[in-house]
Structure formats: C-alpha cells, structure tokens
Homo-oligomer: A and B are copies of this chain.
Amino acid sequence: MANITKKVSWSSRADESGAAGEGTPLLNGSEQPRHSRQPSEGGSLCQIGRLSTVDLEEEITSDEESQRGRPKEIPHNEKLLSLKYESLDYDNIENQLFLEEERKMSYMGFRCLEISRWVVCGLIGFLTGLIACFIDIVVEQLAGIKYQVVKENIEKFTEVGGLSISLLLWAVLNSAIVMLGAIIVAFFEPIAAGSGIPQIKCYLNGIKIPRVVRLKTLVVKVGGVICSVVGGLAVGKEGPMIHSGAVVAAGVSQGRSTSLKRDFKIFEYFRRDTEKRDFVSAGAAAGVSAAFGAPVGGVLFSLEEGASFWNQMLTWRIFFASMISTFTLNFFLSIYHNKPGELSNPGLINFGRFQGDSVAYNLYEIPLFIAMGAIGGLLGALFNVLNYWLTIFRIRYVHRPCLQVMEAMLVAAVTATVSFTMIYFSNDCQPLGPEHTEEYPLQLFCADGEYNSMATAFFNTPERSVRSLFHNQPGTYNPLTLGLFTLTYFFLACWTYGLAVSAGVFIPSLLIGAAWGRLCGIMLATITPDGSIWADPGKYALIGAAAQLGGIVRMTLSLTVIMVEATGNVTYGLPIMLVLMTAKIVGDYFVEGLYDIHIKLQSVPFLHWEAPATSHWLTAREVMSSPVTCLNRIEKVGTIVDTLSNTSTNHNGFPVVVKVSGSDEPPKLCGLILRSQLIVLLKHKVFSIHVSQDERECMMDLTEFMNATPYTVPQETSLPRVFKLFRALGLRHLVVVDDENRVVGLVTRKDLARYHLGKHGLEELQLAQT
C-alpha cells in the first residue's frame, strides 16, 4: 500500500492522514458528488469487492492513525529526498464540472467572491491579532508572577544566606512550566514544535505537510509557546505567530475544521489548493505583522517564501490582513495598557524608538557595520552547524516523546542554573536611576539603590532584554557582563532550538546579536578619543542584532523591512540592508540558513526559485518518471482499483489517454485525473453497469472528471524550461509527450527537486520511501 509506506518524520511520528478531508477531489471547489451521475437503478448491486484495499484517505482519522506505527529509528540523510510528501496543486483542475460551475457564475458572483476574500482576510488579520494579544498578555502576567516570586525569594535568602534554595525554586519552576509545554507538544501535536517557519515555508512552496494547518496544532502551539517563554527558555514568541497566523487562515478560509470535525458550509468555493495557499500567505503575513508590528515586512515575508506568481490584488489583500492584524493587536494592547485608542504601538516585540542625533550614522561607520555583518555571518554559521549536529543527534536518539520532554526540562533547568550563576558571580552593579526601565531589578549583593546589571539580561523575558540592550544609557552594562552573556546565551539558544517545544529563534538571535553588538559599541567608544559622541552603544546593539539574526536565518529583503518597521526608523534601512547582505554572503559560504537546514533534514522536495544553473544539458526525457500508468478515457473499474491499490506505484495523478477506434495507432493524451478524484468517484460509484454483473467489469467514463487540458511539454524540453513552467504555475503533474501527443512520462515535484548544485557541480539526490 502506497499510503502505508509513508512515514512522517518531521514530527518523528507516523501519520498519513495529512490532508484528510482537505482534499477537494471532484472539482476544485466542492466535494459533493454529482448525484445525477449515479446509476438510477442497480447501483446497489455494484459493490466494489476490492475497494476496501484502496484505503481511502478520508476514512482514516488522525487520532487512530497517530497512535500506531511509530518507527523505532528513522534514517536521516540530507542527500535523500523523501517520497512520502504529497504536493499541493496550485493549478486548478479544469474538468468539465469545474468549467460548468465557473461558467454558471455571473459577474456579480465573482464580485461577491472577491468581497468574501476581503472579508476572510480581514477575519484572518483580526483573529491573528487577537491570538498575538492573548499570548502577549498571558506571557506578561505569568512571567510577572514567576519573576516576582523568584525575586522575593532571592531577596529573602540574600540576607539570610542559602541562595541555593532560590536557585532550586527557579529551576524547578522553569522545568515544571516547560514540562507542561513539552508534554502537549511531544504527546499531542509534534508538528507544533519549533517556530513552524520551516513548515510554513514548505507549505507555501507547495508541499503538503500533514496536519500543519490544523486547529489542534494552533491550540498546542499557543499553549506551548506560552509555556516555553514563561518557562524562561532562550526562545521568543514571535516565530510561532507566523505559524499561528497560517493556521487561522487555513481554518477561516476553508470554513471547516478537521480537528473539530465540523463543517460550517461556508466559503466552499475556497476549498481548493490555490485559494487556500493564498489565504495561508495572508495568514503568515498577518502573523509577522502582529509579531513585529511590521505589516510591510509581513507581506514581503509571504512573498519571499511563498509566492511564485505575484498578483497585485492578492498582495493587496495580504497587506490588508497584515494591517488589520497589527491594528487589532495595537487596539487591544492599548486597552490592556489603559491607554485606549493610542494606536502607535507596534507588534509583540517593540524595539522602541531610535531617535535623536546620537543614532544618526556616518559614512565612516559603514565599514564597521559591514564588519559586524561578517561577524554575524560567522557566528550564525557556527550556530547553524552546532544546531545541525544537535538535530542529527536528536533525530537518532531523542525521538521518543518522553525523552523529548525530559530534554526540554533539562534545558529549562540548565538555563535557570546558568542564569543564576551568571547573576550570582557578576559584580556589575548599576545605580537604579529615577526613571529606570527595569521591570524586576535584582539588588542581590549590590549596594542599596543599585541593581545587578547581569540580571537585566537574564532575569527578564528576552523581549525586554533586547529593548534594554538597545536603549539603556551608555554605561549601563560593562563589557565583561555583555561578553559572558553573549557566550552563554549563544549556547543556550542553540541547544534550545529544536527542542519539542513551541518556540521561535528570532528573539534569542536578536538578543545574542544585541549583546555583542553593544559590546562592539562600547569598545569603539573606548578606543576612539571622541568616541562617546558617535558610538552610541544602542545603535551598535541594533546592528549586531540584525547581523546575528541575518547570519542565522539568512532572510534578506523581508528581514530588512521587518527590522526597519520594528525600530520605527527608516534611517537605519541602509545599514541594516548592508549588514544583512554581508551576513548572508559570509554565512552562505559555510552552511545554509537554519530553516533550510531543518527543511533539508526532513528530505522535503523543496523547489528553489530556479533550476540549477548548469542543468541545461538535462531534458524532460531524463528527469521524468517513466513508464507512466495511464488510464483509458473509458476504463474498467477493476483496472482503476488495481492501479490505485498497486503498492509499487505511488502516483497521485494519472494521464488519461484515448485510442482512436479502429486504428492500431498508440493512444493519445486526452486528460489528467488525480488519485483523490478517482477515490471519490469509486466511493460514489459513478459508473454505469456494463456487460457483466461482476462489478470489476463495470466501465467508468472519466471524461467529465479529468482535466482535459493538462500542461504538457515535449520530451526534448530542457530542465530549466520544465522547471520554470512547473514552478511558475505551481503544478503538481506535468505530462511529457512525444510529437504525436503520446504520453511518454510524467514530471512531478520530486523529479525536479532532486537536482541541486553542490560543491562539485550538479548533484542528484536519492529518492527514498521513508
């Protein structure tokens, strides 16, 4: 069985029900069978004996499935390309039913659809903003309680001695909270682990990652991220917002939920891959927008990751969703902060305003910025390599949920211990000014009226720490504090990313970068005579943060805009761009970006923007899968059932051919039909009884259901040309024909994804069933 051979390893767990119920088999828009086509009599006689072996996707519920077949160990190799992932079909299946539906629709109908799209995007933005708001408030409240308890405890024991009890309290508190987060992730929805950005990237690229846009995933994600941030891990709550937005978008736009097993019977027109993808883009953008207060950055993120075909109206709708999302977040946060109606607040992370003359930059600082970009690229590459090894280790040895939970708890305890130790041994006391911005100033061993500076970095949510590093007065941190903090936080963050908790890597990266960036700024101010004038440490903290983040994630355009929007100052656009470019160039020399590493480790058939440069000597003939299982236009049910049940083929699309009657010429291509469509046809028995009573001899006419005009290419077409067609149109199957229009092969995503440029020219990945 094709389906049985599929194992999902993204979440180290077998699950194949992926898009169950999300497919839109017969025509793109709706799943209702065409009852008029059902045989009016004798239908019940026509039982398909062997149909049960076809294992209809829709009949497996995810919960049954997720309990069985957990593999002991999954072989992982980035030179493999997994065959288990299905592809999304961004090309409408234009069969007769579809065209009839579309033609029936009036101009007004299309106008209404367009308005619905706007409404849905508005809803997506609103809900995403609400979720961001919820996460923000809950994290702030819970973290506040936690830090208050620990602070009081520390203050108590600072005087009487026995601070190890405080340490224990802190570590246990953290571990307990993180345990909760890890349990729901590891046991209930492993796909909710991490930031979710690699998964959304894959989804937007056109790969069906099972259960990635489910309601259950969202709930676990939100709960998980609250636990990880409150649990004091070196994580941020921003990355998961992107995933959350995407889930919201998928849920709202489809008008049904697989997790709730509810179908609200609305927006049925949008139940096709192409519409859903567009909405998920909008959701991801809304997520970015809510997380960073960066609506334009959100749009660019979605486009950078997802769009293959830029469409003005779509972009505008995405923008609308982003806008509403930021607006909603601002509005509700302004009420929460008792300043209702003041909408100038940015997103979840607020870098604060960079204003005034001290933050202007000069020409001679540009080389410094570029050098910092290079450092960021180097440190980012180091981070990624370490995390790559760690991930390999985790895939091999830490794939059982209870182990995963234990690892998460260990990390939480270690984080608390390290933080405590750093604070304990730090003697960087700073005076507590009248307008100090510290939320939980720890006096510890400092004199009265002073606070421990190391604690502002460690004893705080990471967002606040970033803001302190950007905006605290020069002299707030001494260089040793910053150096030690960078070093420890770097390794903590690296260890943390990839744990079975919902958490993002944006904020830890920014924090590491801000710390060493501020260090650079302080050092510059020290070594130059009039340094204090131009070397504002906050400015260098910002540049360092950009460099470090760029070095780790390697985003460019969208990240620049996100940073600019989050700082609220376009003046820094140019240096941030330069820094990000440098970081990317330097980092790419060593290793890929963090998200790409994780995508590659999953052996996902990810399509890049263009075919490898040196692939012109390959033609469709060489890359295509062949021979192809073709179906006749009027086909025996038995043959169809056999084809679908055949374990050796894993095809999801079948070319339909027609033979000229009375001629001995080979059959010609006349259409394309999907596995999912055939299964629905079989389920609804859309065939008439013919010749014999044996149902396997029934004939089925596929004419009405097949896509009569599939895209084709001649077999001499070069790979770049095939790639361009496939990528630009978001195809799933591309039929290769000879000059007589006979089917000679089929090109699918994996055929294109397996060629890539390695160090030694064009390399080919192996295909693997796992």
Contacts and interface: CB of A to CB of B under 8 A. Distances in A.
B316 A341 contact: no
Nearest to A113: B613
A757 interface: yes
Interface size for chain A: under 10, 10 to 19, 20 to 34, or 35 or more residues?
A: 35 or more
A535 to B, nearest CB: 15
A651 interface: no
A485 interface: no
Contacts of A110: 613-614
A264 to B, nearest CB: 25
B721 A725 contact: no
Interface in A77-124: 92, 94, 99, 102-103, 105-107, 110, 114
Question: How many protomers of this protein does the assembly include?
Answer: 2
A574 interface: yes
B610 A311 contact: yes
A716 B613 CA distance: 35
Nearest to A312: B609
B568 A569 contact: yes
A344 interface: yes
Interface string A660-672: 0000000011100
A560 interface: yes
A378 interface: no
A203 interface: no
Nearest to A340: B363
Given A574-B326, A668-B740, A741-B741, A360 B344 contact: yes
Contact of A355 (B310, B312, B355, B564): B355
A446 B319 CA distance: 49
B725 A613 contact: no
Contact of A344 (B327, B571, B610, B668): B571
A739 B739 contact: no
Contacts of A295: 573-574, 577
A603 to B, nearest CB: 22
Interface stretch (A296-304, A487-495, A519-527): A296-304
Nearest to A569: B568
Contact of A573 (B296, B574, B725): B296
Q: Which 10 pairs between the two chains have the least Cβ-Cβ distance?
A: A110-B613, A341-B363, A102-B616, A709-B717, A728-B728, A310-B310, A741-B741, A341-B362, A344-B360, A103-B617
26 contacts: A102-B718, A107-B613, A110-B613, A295-B573, A296-B561, A296-B573, A304-B315, A309-B309, A309-B310, A312-B609, A316-B556, A319-B557, A323-B578, A331-B363, A342-B362, A343-B361, A343-B574, A344-B361, A568-B569, A568-B571, A569-B570, A669-B739, A708-B714, A709-B713, A709-B718, A711-B725
